[in-house]
Structure 1
């Protein structure tokens, strides 16, 4: 095991995939000499050359249109969208083409396309560079979605995505790139649809996505000092979603808090809450709590941004509310 950053883990996965399969290539804005906006692809050009590490025009529609076409004709592109906010100008290649082609051709055609994209705020990047849009894509059948929270998961899930014959999006939270963790030096894959129980507990189940896993761990320390035990579940992937593991936890604790950075209305938390309410209603001892950003554009001002985005204090308050219910 080596201790490396999340950024290095992603780069390591890309390097291993490029070495293992000559059909794999990368494309995106400034990913070659510059190494990408988050410096994830730095150093890959020197080993693999411009044919496989391709800079593109500043056109997300061109990037994803080319990537879908390349995948449909037998290559295995890994496209980078500089900020997930920029998906908005290129939805057709993903939603109407890449996500549907394998189904429409009866499995005779595959679209082994992986799309990487940073998401999230906490950097004073303002409303057009700080969103979390994963719920949009969760709504579309035919798209697999990963949201790795650790360097270990970042490498293993990305390698699984590249090996998958379906269109897959891997969302990388910007605030995680400098975090460190132990990562095997050899290639490995983490199956989609299998959550990680980060911490076992008995009083409240907390399902946390992406960077909210770290905030949940901070909340767990504060709550433990009060004698409250929370179980932290990281879904890792939201499509497919390991709902059975979440249900198993709720059946044990009787209470659920779902936390994500995306804004509250229409978020992934609403879908998880709906499924748990439908399938484990008799086990719930309190209403399900959701922790999320407020329903407003993300401001540039760092004090306002901090007020809008959720953190460990919001998880602590949600846990208290669910425990206080009915008392």
Structure 2
């Protein structure tokens, strides 16, 4: 029912992308062999592709700036930020240079740039190595925000980003690296999935044969396994039937693959509340679903707190399967 681990799948995707396109470069701190990156996603790339894979000095602004310069000059760049928390140090290069360069010269300018950001907590890395900073990059003209999922083929996702010729942030939940890809339309003994919508689209996880759902869960890719666990508990312990939607592209939002079939909608994400992706999803869905929603859309976010390093305190802050389950039960009560 499951394939290779997400980290292995992503590493293989990068090998295939570089082999297929000699214009692609990879930049980042400590990404060259023998280290192969902090999470080993770039392992083997420098040995195989030589100078097209470069370890860089410790400067996120310089790394993203160099990647954007390569893209502006006609090549393609995949940049790794060691921890997503440090992407704030490249905020100016992303927002004021890369994103704006696509249209501020009086004509469309290709900017095939992907900035990979390992994000999220649940590993005890503490306040500055555990964040999910997605919301700070939503709504920037010219900048797309995506998240790796266990349903979407990573090579197809990377090639989609490069073909779009606009800068993309690709968030990758660190815990997701250790989980396995779903394939063949099978999630587990209960649930099946299919991809819907244009472009990368969204994965729709459902109970085979069901068409009447109490609730639709919508989550980014890193939360997929937690959402599936919540769905399972809700069905087996509370007789509440949910479907799950997991989009690969978070912004610009494509509602084509995100139209829920449930009578209630719950959007869950990592990161604290306030100006979030979940709030954007709710704002876009509310007028479309106005005539059939039975109650307001539920938003589930992390606590309004820095993320502690101590595991027992970290658990109090971050979103878990039981957080989603309790939020759905409270909404339906």
Q: Given the two structures, how large is their TM-score scaled by the length of structure 1? A: 0.91
- 1:68 deviates by 0.9
Residue 270 of structure 2 is aligned to residue 261 of structure 1: yes
- 1:151 deviates by 6.2
- 1:217 deviates by 0.6
Residue 231 of structure 2 is aligned to residue 231 of structure 1: no
Query: 1:187 maps to which residue?
Result: none
SS at match of 1:211: helix
Q: Of 295, 298, 312, which residue of structure 2 is paired with 1:286?
A: 295
SS at match of 1:231: strand
**What are the Cα deviations for residues 147-177 of structure 1, in whole angstroms up to 9, with x where unaligned?**
1221644333123223331111111000011
- Aligned pair in 2 of structure 1 residues 271, 321: CA closer, same or farther (>3 Å)? same
SS at match of 1:282: coil
- 1:80 deviates by 0.5
Query: 2:39 maps to which residue?
Result: 38
**Superposition pairs for residues 32-111 of structure 1, below 5 Å?**
32-33=32-33, 34-49=35-50, 51-111=51-111
Query: 2:13 maps to which residue?
Result: 13
Q: Of 194, 199, 206, which residue of structure 2 is paired with 1:199?
A: 206
Residue 206 of structure 2 is aligned to residue 211 of structure 1: no
SS at match of 2:271: strand
Instruction: Please tell me whether the aligned partners of residues 9 and 151 of structure 1 are also in contact (alpha carbons under 8 angstroms).
Output: no
SS at match of 1:126: coil
Instruction: Please tell me whether the aligned partners of residues 139 and 251 of structure 2 are also in contact (alpha carbons under 8 angstroms).
Output: no
Query: 2:187 maps to which residue?
Result: none
- Please give the alpha-carbon distance, in whole angstroms, between the structure 2 residues aligned to 1:2 and 1:276: 31
Listed as ranges, the gaps of 5+ residues in structure 1 are 185-189
The number of aligned residues is 315
Instruction: Please tell me whether the aligned partners of residues 298 and 331 of structure 2 are also in contact (alpha carbons under 8 angstroms).
Output: yes
**Superposition pairs for residues 133-144 of structure 1, below 5 Å?**
133-144=133-144
Query: 2:191 maps to which residue?
Result: none
Instruction: Please tell me whether the aligned partners of residues 194 and 241 of structure 1 are also in contact (alpha carbons under 8 angstroms).
Output: no
- Aligned pair in 2 of structure 1 residues 183, 320: CA closer, same or farther (>3 Å)? closer
Root mean square deviation, CA, Å: 1.9
Listed as ranges, the gaps of 5+ residues in structure 2 are 185-196
- 1:89 deviates by 1.3
Instruction: Please tell me whether the aligned partners of residues 147 and 209 of structure 1 are also in contact (alpha carbons under 8 angstroms).
Output: yes
Larger mean CA deviation between 196-205 and 141-150 belongs to: 196-205
- Aligned pair in 2 of structure 1 residues 161, 183: CA closer, same or farther (>3 Å)? farther
**Superposition pairs for residues 239-254 of structure 1, below 5 Å?**
239-246=251-258, 248-249=259-260, 252-254=261-263
Query: 2:285 maps to which residue?
Result: 276
Q: Given the two structures, how large is their TM-score scaled by the length of structure 2? A: 0.89
- Please give the alpha-carbon distance, in whole angstroms, between the structure 2 residues aligned to 1:269 and 1:153: 24
Larger mean CA deviation between 234-243 and 23-32 belongs to: 234-243
- Please give the alpha-carbon distance, in whole angstroms, between the structure 2 residues aligned to 1:183 and 1:214: 14
SS at match of 2:291: helix
Query: 1:171 maps to which residue?
Result: 171
